[in-house]
Structure 1
Amino acid sequence: MGNAGTVKLIAFDVDGTLTDGTLVIGFDGEPVKLFHARDGLGISLAHRMGYVTGFITGRKSKLVENRGKELQVDFILMGVSNKVEAMEKILKDHGLSWKEAAYVGDDLNDLPLMKKVGFSGSPADGVSEARKASDFVSSLPGGKGAAREFIETIMKSQHRWKDAVNSYKGKNLKTVMQ
């Protein structure tokens, strides 16, 4: 069982995790994806609280790139076939260990990374293998708040949720990661 208390970096798969997994192909061939506002605010809040945040996904998409920039995530890795190798580089770049990394995935291609990180999660509608491999299974499906619930779980386990909420109430943000 993983430990949310040591997490400093939170990474997300995109299709099926930050979206519901539906791909609508536009006339230009670009898939259209729907993102939930609460997941976005959760990712922004994690970033605001000093967590390293980002996306690791197998697909390439201008929409994902734009969403990542909008949320000011620290990394956007697309077209990734080996997510473990991608995460190793991110951890090295940020001077972090595996136990300080968290990842949310929903399908078979996420399993190797989910088993390696210090804290893993799956949306409620992730495949059974992903749910079984997870330290945390959201009560919500992918693209419908699962990422936000994962972030809140991490912050609450670290007793940082009250400070995160207060950061939106105009109070001083006193606990940023060091």
Structure 2
Amino acid sequence: MFSHLKERAQRIRLAVFDVDGVLTNGQLLFSENGEELKAFSTLDGQGIKMLQRAGIETAIITGRESQLVARRAQNLGIAHLYQGREDKLVALQELLPQLGLALEEVAYLGDDLPDLAAIRRVGLGAAVANAHDFVKQHACAVTLKPGGQGAAREFCDALLDAQGKLQEALDSYL
């Protein structure tokens, strides 16, 4: 996915993910009691863990607030979680000084208009296959897989591959 962006991908030290439409398929499901339900891909979760083991920080910035997302972030060891933030670029700019990173060292995966400012400003801004067309037009790369169905894993694998770390990460499971 990032073969044409290998130089940019090699500088990435932080991978940021939106949730609805990226780590999920974008559907909002509610029980009769009003409880929110979300389905997450285990493939995506494994990709995020592989990034972390390879020394790449991970973060979630999402416009909605959900205990499910907090639990998923905790399960995956994602320490940087920003919920209820439509101003995703501002949230990202709040995080960067804490990590001592610049925007050029960030990869961001999003799907809709609230992600656009971040996608355009980071070192490697990507969109999932089922993202809004306007967002895809402004992204450096677009995944082949849709959100919630392995797009984040594809993104993670591409980052690791560009940094020459994918094969080692895969081999560690042999």
* Shared fold per TM-score greater than 0.5: yes
Q: Which residue of 1 aligns with 2:119?
A: 114
- Please state how far the C-alpha of 1:31 moved relative to its aligned partner: 1.6
Match of 2:23 in 1: 18
* Mapped partners of 1:110, 1:50: distance in 2: 24
Contact 1:19 1:144 in 2 (8 A): yes
1:29 positional shift = 2.2
Aligned residue type for 1:23: L
Residue 55 of structure 1 contacts residue 75 of structure 1 at CA under 8 Å; is this kept in 2?
Answer: yes
Q: Residue 93 of structure 2: which of 88, 95, 98 is its match? A: 88
The aligned counterpart of 2:65 is 60
RMSD (CA atoms): 1.2
Structure 1 runs of 4+ with >3 Å offset: none
Equivalent residue for 2:149, pick from 144, 159, 163: 144
Alignment partner for residue 37 of structure 1, among 34, 42, 49? 42
* Larger mean Cα displacement after TM superposition, 160-169 or 98-107: 160-169
For 1:48 and 1:157, the matched residues in 2 are separated by 16
Q: Which runs of 5+ in 1 are unaligned?
A: 170-178
Structure 2 counterpart SS, 1:69: helix
Q: 1:28: Cα distance to partner?
A: 3.6
Does the Cα contact within 8 Å between 1:115 and 1:133 map onto a contact in 2? yes
| 1:163 positional shift | 1.4
- Cα distance in 1 for partners of 2:109, 2:168 equals 23
Q: TM-score, normalised by structure 1?
A: 0.91
Tell me, in whole angstroms, the C-alpha distance in 2 between the residues paired with 1:99 and 1:79: 25
Q: CA deviation at 1:168?
A: 2.1
Q: How far apart, CA to CA, are the structure 1 residues paired with 2:173 and 2:54?
A: 11
TM-score, scaled relative to structure 2: 0.93
* CA–CA separation in structure 2 for the residues paired with 1:49 and 1:74: 16
Aligned residues: 169
**Secondary structure at the residue paired with 2:148?**
coil
Supply the distance in 1 between the matched residues of 2:90 and 2:164 (Cα, whole angstroms). 31
1:154 aligns with 2:159: yes
SS of corresponding position for 1:65? helix
